[in-house]
Structure 1
Amino acid sequence: MSSLLVITGLQVSVQAGETRPEQSFSRHYKSELDVGNGGRWGSWGQRKMCPTGTYAAGFSLMVEDPIEGDDTALNGIRLHCIDKASNSHHDYASVQSDVGSWGRWTDIKWCPFGFLTDFQSTFKCSRGSFLLGDGTHWGNWGDWGDWGDWSQTCEGKEICGIKAQVEEPQGFGDDTALNDVRMFCCN
Structure 2
Amino acid sequence: MHHLLSMFLLLAIIGQHVNVQATGRNYKSVLTVSNGMSWGSWGHQDMCPTGMYAAGFSLRVESHVSGDFDDTALNGIRLHCVYSSRVSAANVVSNAGHWGQWTDIKWCPSGFLKAFQLRVESAQGNGDDTAANNIRFSCSDGVVLTGDGTGWGDWGDWSSACGGRGICGIKTRVENPQGNGDDTALNDARIYCCE
Task: Please give the TM-score of this superposition, normalised by the length of structure 2.
Answer: 0.79
Distance 2:53 2:185 in 1: 26
Percent of aligned pairs with the same residue?
Answer: 60
Question: 1:95 is paired with a residue of what secondary structure?
Answer: strand
Question: 1:104: Cα distance to partner?
Answer: 0.5
Q: Deviation per CA, 1:49-92: give whole Å up to 9, x if none.
A: 000000000000000011022111100000000002x134xx20
The reply to whether residue 104 of structure 1 matches residue 112 of structure 2 is no
The reply to whether residue 168 of structure 1 matches residue 176 of structure 2 is yes
Question: 1:122 is paired with a residue of what secondary structure?
Answer: strand
Q: Which amino acid aligns with 2:156?
A: G
> Corresponding residue for 1:87?
86
The reply to whether residue 139 of structure 1 matches residue 152 of structure 2 is yes
Identify unmatched segments of 5+ residues in structure 2: 1-12, 118-134
Considering only CA atoms, is the larger Rg found in Structure 1 or Structure 2?
A: 2
Aligned length, in residue pairs: 164
> Corresponding residue for 2:10?
none
Distance 2:75 2:22 in 1: 23
Runs of 4+ in 1 over 6 A off after TM superposition: none
The reply to whether residue 153 of structure 1 matches residue 161 of structure 2 is yes
> Corresponding residue for 1:183?
191
Distance 1:19 1:100 in 2: 20
Distance 2:42 2:181 in 1: 22
Distance 1:79 1:35 in 2: 17
Question: 1:183 is paired with a residue of what secondary structure?
Answer: strand
Question: 1:18 is paired with a residue of what secondary structure?
Answer: helix
Question: 1:65 is paired with a residue of what secondary structure?
Answer: coil
The reply to whether residue 24 of structure 1 matches residue 22 of structure 2 is yes
Question: 2:147 is paired with a residue of what secondary structure?
Answer: coil
Question: 2:189 is paired with a residue of what secondary structure?
Answer: strand
Give the counterpart of 2:56 among 52, 58, 80.
Answer: 58
Distance 1:34 1:28 in 2: 18
Task: Please give the TM-score of this superposition, normalised by the length of structure 1.
Answer: 0.82
Q: Deviation per CA, 1:1-24: give whole Å up to 9, x if none.
A: xxxxxxxxxxxxxx9771665432
Identify unmatched segments of 5+ residues in structure 1: 1-14, 141-145
Distance 1:40 1:46 in 2: 16
Distance 1:59 1:16 in 2: 18
Q: Deviation per CA, 1:117-175: give whole Å up to 9, x if none.
A: 00003100001001112222x337xxxxx311101100233000000000001112410
Distance 2:162 2:145 in 1: 16
* Greater length-normalized contact order (CA 8 Å, ≥ 6 residues apart): 1
Q: 1:30 to 1:64 in 2, by over 3 A?
A: same
